[in-house]
Amino acid sequence: MSEATKITTLDHGPFLVTGPVLLTDAEGKNFHSERETIALCRCGGSTTKPFCDGAHSKLGFQAAEKAVQQAEN
Protein backbone atom coordinates (compact mmCIF):
# COMPACT_ATOMS: atom_id res chain seq x y z
CA MET A 1 0.00 0.00 0.00
CA SER A 2 1.36 3.42 -0.90
CA GLU A 3 1.92 6.13 1.65
CA ALA A 4 -0.87 8.73 1.90
CA THR A 5 -0.15 12.36 1.19
CA LYS A 6 -1.31 14.84 3.82
CA ILE A 7 -1.89 18.57 3.31
CA THR A 8 -2.11 20.78 6.38
CA THR A 9 -3.01 24.46 6.34
CA LEU A 10 -1.17 26.68 8.75
CA ASP A 11 -3.04 29.71 10.06
CA HIS A 12 -1.83 32.71 8.06
CA GLY A 13 0.97 30.61 6.58
CA PRO A 14 1.78 27.97 3.99
CA PHE A 15 0.31 24.62 3.08
CA LEU A 16 2.43 21.81 4.53
CA VAL A 17 2.54 18.77 2.27
CA THR A 18 3.75 15.53 3.83
CA GLY A 19 4.24 12.37 1.84
CA PRO A 20 4.97 11.55 -1.77
CA VAL A 21 4.07 14.33 -4.16
CA LEU A 22 4.93 15.40 -7.69
CA LEU A 23 4.54 19.17 -8.02
CA THR A 24 4.14 20.48 -11.60
CA ASP A 25 3.68 24.15 -12.48
CA ALA A 26 1.53 25.61 -15.26
CA GLU A 27 4.41 25.31 -17.73
CA GLY A 28 4.89 21.63 -16.96
CA LYS A 29 8.04 22.14 -14.92
CA ASN A 30 8.39 19.55 -12.17
CA PHE A 31 9.65 20.39 -8.72
CA HIS A 32 11.31 17.66 -6.72
CA SER A 33 12.13 17.75 -3.05
CA GLU A 34 14.08 15.31 -0.95
CA ARG A 35 12.28 16.54 2.16
CA GLU A 36 9.55 14.54 3.84
CA THR A 37 7.48 17.70 4.28
CA ILE A 38 7.40 20.73 2.01
CA ALA A 39 5.77 24.12 2.61
CA LEU A 40 3.92 25.70 -0.31
CA CYS A 41 3.43 29.46 -0.41
CA ARG A 42 -0.14 30.71 -0.43
CA CYS A 43 0.55 34.37 0.37
CA GLY A 44 2.19 35.14 -2.98
CA GLY A 45 5.19 36.83 -1.35
CA SER A 46 7.78 34.08 -1.45
CA THR A 47 10.88 34.58 -3.57
CA THR A 48 11.22 30.80 -3.83
CA LYS A 49 7.74 29.97 -5.20
CA PRO A 50 6.11 27.57 -5.14
CA PHE A 51 7.81 27.06 -1.79
CA CYS A 52 7.35 29.20 1.32
CA ASP A 53 10.39 31.22 2.39
CA GLY A 54 8.81 32.76 5.50
CA ALA A 55 7.84 36.04 3.80
CA HIS A 56 4.22 35.60 4.94
CA SER A 57 5.27 36.65 8.45
CA LYS A 58 6.89 39.87 7.27
CA LEU A 59 3.92 40.65 5.00
CA GLY A 60 1.35 40.07 7.75
CA PHE A 61 -0.48 37.56 5.55
CA GLN A 62 -4.01 36.86 6.80
CA ALA A 63 -5.55 33.72 5.33
CA ALA A 64 -9.29 34.10 5.11
CA GLU A 65 -10.18 30.59 4.18
CA LYS A 66 -10.67 27.64 6.47
CA ALA A 67 -11.40 24.06 5.55
CA VAL A 68 -15.12 23.51 5.52
CA GLN A 69 -16.49 20.29 6.97
CA GLN A 70 -18.29 18.38 4.24
CA ALA A 71 -21.53 16.60 5.03
CA GLU A 72 -21.27 12.83 4.82
CA ASN A 73 -23.51 11.17 2.27
Q: Tell me, by CB under 6 A, how many residues bind ligand FES.
A: 12
**Residue 23 to residue 33: CA distance in whole angstroms:** 9
Residue nearer to ligand FES on the CB measure, 1 or 60? 60
Taking CB under 6 A as the criterion, which residues in 22-61 touch ligand FES?
A: 41-43, 45-46, 52-56
Dihedral of CA 40/37/9/73: which sign? positive
Q: How far apart are CA 54 and CA 36, in angstroms?
A: 18
Residue 14 lies near ligand FES (rule: CB under 6 A): yes
Summarize as ranges the residues that interact with ligand FES (CB under 6 A). Answer: 13-14, 41-43, 45-46, 52-56
